């Protein structure tokens, strides 16, 4: 099976889905088509990663390949959530990002690492970490969409973009549901890391551990503040983005410096 053909097809389908979602904002009749294109894009992306892993006899946990895997999981989570929740418009931004990371993964290949080299506990830690980051990434984009909606309401701009959004309260409830689920997986990731990783504070893991803990406290504080003090609006958006930034630096900070900037693997 031609790997480049699959990657090119996934790229086209991601952009087609994103453009169709934009068109749906204007005409409100293309949601189903956009989601079908999104599913086809994600499935093609998955097939391309599977073919690559089979050809290379392993998975490359490099910066761009890991980012591509995470973007795929984000796409699937978004598509699954769209069955019951109004989150499909996030695909306008998330699908092109998945396409971009797929291209960068092709342009910057790296050595593979077999998952058999890791224990079951380590694989659980990696999986829970990826799911946590994926869910909280969606939450961050949801927070940015919520900020846009707040701004449109404040300036009384009730255009088609505004009408395409669910009610503000529904958007906030959805944001906190995503954060709660993401925090659960982040807790599993941290706990499994402390239990199963022999030297959690080894070189290149110190900053990841500390920043992940900081993110955990930020998201936990936000949920407590929501329950006890009714935090919402700008406060919720700000804390969500702070937590996501901390997690982003934890997951990709050192990998970006070591593998891309310093050209080390």
CA distances, 45 to each of 92, 107, 183 (Å): 17, 16, 27
Q: What pLDDT does 170 receive?
A: 79
230-233: which pairs have CB atoms within 8 A and are 24 or more residues apart?
Answer: 232/172, 233/150, 233/172
Per-residue pLDDT tens digits for 62-121: 777 888 888 999 999 999 988 988 888 889 989 999 999 898 888 877 665 555 555 666
Query: Tell me, what's the pLDDT at 265?
Result: 46
How confident is the model at residue 181, as a pLDDT?
A: 94
Q: Are 79 and 49 spatial neighbours (Cβ–Cβ below 8 Å)?
A: no
Pick out the chain residues at pLDDT < 70: 1, 57-61, 110-121, 157-164, 196-205, 254-265
pLDDT confidence of residue 172: 86
């Amino acid at each position: 099976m031609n790997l480049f053909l699959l990657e090119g097809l996934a790229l086209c389908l991601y952009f087609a889905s994103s453009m169709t979602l934009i068109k749906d904002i204007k005409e409100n009749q293309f949601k189903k088509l956009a989601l079908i294109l999104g599913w086809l894009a994600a499935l093609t992306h998955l097939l391309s990663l599977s073919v690559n892993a089979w050809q290379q006899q392993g998975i490359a946990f490099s910066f761009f390949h890991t980012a591509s895997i995470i973007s795929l999981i984000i796409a699937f989570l978004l598509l699954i959530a769209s069955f019951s929740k109004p989150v499909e418009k996030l695909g306008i931004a998330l699908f092109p990002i998945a396409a971009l990371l797929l291209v960068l993964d092709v342009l910057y290949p790296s050595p593979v690492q077999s998952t058999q080299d890791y224990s079951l506990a380590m694989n659980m830690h990696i999986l829970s970490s990826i799911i946590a980051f994926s869910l909280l990434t969606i939450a961050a984009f949801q927070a940015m969409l919520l900020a846009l909606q707040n701004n449109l309401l404040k300036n009384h701009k009730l255009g088609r973009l505004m009408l395409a959004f669910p009610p503000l309260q529904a958007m906030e409830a959805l944001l906190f549901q995503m954060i709660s689920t993401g925090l659960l997986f982040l807790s599993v990731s941290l706990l499994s890391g402390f239990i199963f990783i022999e030297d959690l504070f080894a070189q290149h893991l110190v900053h990841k551990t500390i920043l992940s803990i900081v993110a955990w406290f930020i998201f936990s504080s936000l949920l407590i503040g929501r329950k006890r003090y009714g935090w919402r609006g700008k406060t919720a958006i700000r804390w969500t983005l702070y937590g996501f930034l901390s997690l982003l630096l934890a997951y990709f900070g050192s990998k970006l410096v070591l593998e891309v900037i310093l050209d080390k693997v």
